[in-house]
Amino acid sequence: MKDGEKRPESGATGTPVRLLEVEADAAGRRLDNFLMSALKGLPRPRIYRMIRSGEVRVNKGRSKPSYHLAVGDVVRVPPVRGLETNAQPYVSPGRADWLNDLVLYEDDRLLVLNKPSGLAVHGGSGISLGAIELLRAARPDSHYFELVHRLDRDTSGCLLVAKKRSALRQLHNAFRDGQVEKIYYALLLGKWVGGRREVALPLMTEHRQNGERHVRTGKDGKAAVTRFYPERYYDDSVYVRVELLTGRTHQIRVHAAAIGHPVAGDDRYGEGGASPAGLRRLFLHAGHLGFPHPESGEKISIEAPLSAELQSVLSELESSR
């Protein structure tokens, strides 16, 4: 579906009226299920009342909840009270255009973004705008953008976004079936002795009173495996390539701290370890993403370069070594 109006008129106390044109990905879906996706969080009985009362229209006429949509159908979605907190925030024209310069790869089914540190992948929990909202604002004529996976707010690098519903399903399957290569680069604190290390410690997520998620190791947690490969040794730190065999929340940060080598710049799990001068962020970067293309099956391999700030930190460490 695509939004037929870039910033339509709002209802008196609700969300804007929208005209949604049905495209190939949504063809064949029932009208009620289509609206469940368009109005996430709205109870199904309320959606049925909107359809039966004629507030929802298909091609300007009344329809039934069981109607199967066809390509080109235009669905009128009326103003809805109670969804103000779930509505997409408005972004003024041009404010998000800078995000286009961070696109590493794009075709008609997917997009890979080099997400900067400090940008959440989506809004919520006090954050009004994330990467996905800004991407939608930067591409107002594009009808579909959904996150395939997530990165921590403070982690930079490859972020995979689906541009079609079918691509989202196939890419989710690839992640679930272990067909995705995820390589990170990090600076760990402390003197590293020896070579490669594999950490296999189960992880448990706790939800604290302030709403933040905190992860710790624990025998009752979910299985998690991380491999650390040292690439450059320094006096009090080591630059490592990190291979994720699982994808748990904060996995690299917690596993690194558990072996006594927290990620530089990690205020949550680093226990106050001294970070290199000039580092004002978490030194963790999703540098490589490899996955089968959802249409052709061809292997796609994407590399995201380190930011100038992280490169500068490494250069300083090299010069003082």
Amino acid identity of residue 130, one-letter, is G
- CA dist 105 and 302 (Å) reads 7
The pair of structure tokens assigned to 300 is 């796609």
Beta strands 197-200 and 225-233, pairing class: antiparallel
Nearest by Cα to 3 from 137, 131, 103, 160: 137
- CA dist 37 and 137 (Å) reads 19
Burial class (CB in 10 A: 0-12, 13-18, 19+), 24: exposed
**CA 202 and chain centroid, separation:** 23
Amino acid identity of residue 15, one-letter, is T
**CA 159 and chain centroid, separation:** 6
Give the dihedral sign, CA 30/33/39/43.
positive
Give backbone dihedrals phi and psi of 242, rounded to 5 degrees, phi first: -120, 130
**Residue 118, SS3 per DSSP:** coil
CB 65 within 8 A of CB 32: yes
> Measured at the alpha carbon of residue 182, what is the angle toward residues 203 and 151, in degrees to the nearest 5?
65
CB 191 within 8 A of CB 236: yes
User: Which residue matches tokens 């205020």?
Assistant: 267
Give catalytic residues, as residue numbers: 152
Beta strands 284-292 and 156-162, pairing class: parallel
